[in-house]
């Protein structure tokens, strides 16, 4: 698989990464440990060198899983994790105090079975802690050799600038896909100006863009999508038009909807690295195939024209979670 540089950070990763959250958390019951390890290792065998986790995924279980799965190839991969919640539990609230960043980092190093974290993200901006203190703490951890690069997740342009002035931000991770293009307004220009890479999560619209979900789909009771307005049965029905358009384009390119959605992201900027997640080996192989799909200027024009005629319905987060975004 081709490699990409995350902005001007010097951090080189595979063009597609693997989002590991869903193996432990968020989309129903966790995958069986042996199967999850097999999938992570299959991603590595398929050329993936960039793996994304967080203390909040479990909490802690996902970091432990990723650490065990990648231990045999630790020196050949880039592992990203995140801090920023009380006891790693989003429901308890934010905590980006310097002492929590330090204690979380020490614990994550053990869970990940490593002596350095390649990319450490602030999971969400904490308005109670000055950004200078957050970035300054990570800067110290980098100086101590415990962290290599600093990242932010779902941060707004002002916070990104404040952090970057203290410790260069290597990457921003936020949602971006064919059905959530809000980052194009302010975030992408800011990142380009500052030389920061972009790591889109949910690049397949939490599964919707694959065509495997329709208005009749039911989710497990523990599945996060149950509380997402965009995933009400009514909105899924209306949003099907986007999936239909993707299907037409995919057929013309002898590809799948997922591959077109990922190839579209890769075509936007050379410093964008999507991190699709899955629990299924066949979906993993399908996603990795997107790295070889080339969209021409005419293809991109057709997609843009088709999207301009479609209005996606439903917010991407419930109100209480939306409050944590873009600060």
**Separation between Cα atoms, residue 228 and residue 170, nearest integer Å:** 30
Under 8 Å between Cβ of 228 and 207 = no
Confidence of residue 8 (pLDDT cuts 50, 70, 90): very high
Cβ count within 10 A of residue 28 = 16
Strand 169-175, strand 117-122: pairing: unpaired
Residues labelled catalytic: 57
Under 8 Å between Cβ of 248 and 257 = no
**Separation between Cα atoms, residue 283 and residue 290, nearest integer Å:** 11
Under 8 Å between Cβ of 153 and 178 = no
**pLDDT at position 226, please?**
96
Summarised one tens digit per residue, pLDDT across range 285-322 is: 999 999 999 999 999 999 999 989 999 999 999 999 99
**Separation between Cα atoms, residue 82 and residue 101, nearest integer Å:** 9
Summarised one tens digit per residue, pLDDT across range 30-48 is: 999 999 999 999 999 999 9
Report the percentage of the chain scoring pLDDT > 70: 100
**Separation between Cα atoms, residue 146 and residue 287, nearest integer Å:** 32
Domains, the chain? 3-322 (3.20.20.100)
**pLDDT at position 158, please?**
98
CA end-to-end span of the chain: 35
Under 8 Å between Cβ of 203 and 257 = no
Query: Residues 219, 223, 229, 231: is their CA dihedral positive or negative?
Result: negative
Q: Mention every residue, 6+ apart, whose C-beta is less than 8 A from residue 272.
A: 4, 176, 197, 198, 199, 200, 265, 266
**Separation between Cα atoms, residue 133 and residue 156, nearest integer Å:** 17
* Lookup: tokens for 82: 């995140």
Summarised one tens digit per residue, pLDDT across range 265-275 is: 999 999 999 99
Summarised one tens digit per residue, pLDDT across range 127-160 is: 999 999 999 999 999 999 999 999 999 999 999 9
Determine if the pTM surpasses 0.85.
yes
Closest CA to 23 of 9, 7, 35, 15: 35
Strand partners for 85: 94
Confidence of residue 235 (pLDDT cuts 50, 70, 90): very high
Cβ count within 10 A of residue 234 = 11
**pLDDT at position 198, please?**
98
Q: What is the rounded average pLDDT of the residues 182-203?
A: 98
* Lookup: tokens for 37: 């390890």
Closest CA to 320 of 234, 232, 222, 228: 228
Closest CA to 291 of 305, 273, 277, 279: 273
> If you average pLDDT over every residue of the chain, what do you get?
97
Strands (E), the chain: 3-5, 12-14, 18-19, 50-52, 78-83, 117-122, 147-153, 169-175, 197-201
**Separation between Cα atoms, residue 184 and residue 167, nearest integer Å:** 24
Q: What is the rounded average pLDDT of the residues 211-228?
A: 96
SS3 of 136, please? helix
**pLDDT at position 164, please?**
98
């Amino acid at each position: 698989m081709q490699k990409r540089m995350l902005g001007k950070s010097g951090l080189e990763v595979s063009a597609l990464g693997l989002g590991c959250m869903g193996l432990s958390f968020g989309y129903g019951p966790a995958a069986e440990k042996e199967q999850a390890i097999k999938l992570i290792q299959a991603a590595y065998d398929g050329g993936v060198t960039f793996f994304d986790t967080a203390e909040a995924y479990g909490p802690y279980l996902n970091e432990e899983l990723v650490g065990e799965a990648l231990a045999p190839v630790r020196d050949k991969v880039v592992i990203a994790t995140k801090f920023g919640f009380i006891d790693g539990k989003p429901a308890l609230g934010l905590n980006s105090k310097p002492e929590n960043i330090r204690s979380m980092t020490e614990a994550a190093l053990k869970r990940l079975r490593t002596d350095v974290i390649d990319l450490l993200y602030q999971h969400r901006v904490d308005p109670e802690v000055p950004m200078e203190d957050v970035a300054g703490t990570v800067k110290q951890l980098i100086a101590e050799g415990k962290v290599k690069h600093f990242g932010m997740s779902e941060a707004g342009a002002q916070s990104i600038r404040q952090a970057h002035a203290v410790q260069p931000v290597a990457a921003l991770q936020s949602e971006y896909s064919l059905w959530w293009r809000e980052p194009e307004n302010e975030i992408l220009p800011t990142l380009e100006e500052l030389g920061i890479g972009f790591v889109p999560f949910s690049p397949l619209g939490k599964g919707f863009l694959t065509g495997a979900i329709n208005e009749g789909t039911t989710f497990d009771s523990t599945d996060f999508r149950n509380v997402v307005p965009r995933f009400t049965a009514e909105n899924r029905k209306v949003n099907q038009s986007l999936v239909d358009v993707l299907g037409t384009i995919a057929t013309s390119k002898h590809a799948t909807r997922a591959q077109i959605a990922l190839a579209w992201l890769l075509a936007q900027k050379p410093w964008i690295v999507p991190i699709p997640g899955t629990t299924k080996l066949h979906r993993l192989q399908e996603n990795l195939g997107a790295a070889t799909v080339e969209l021409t200027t005419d293809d991109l024009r057709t997609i843009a024209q088709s999207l301009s005629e479609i209005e996606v319905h439903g917010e991407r987060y419930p109100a209480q979670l939306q409050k944590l975004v873009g600060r």
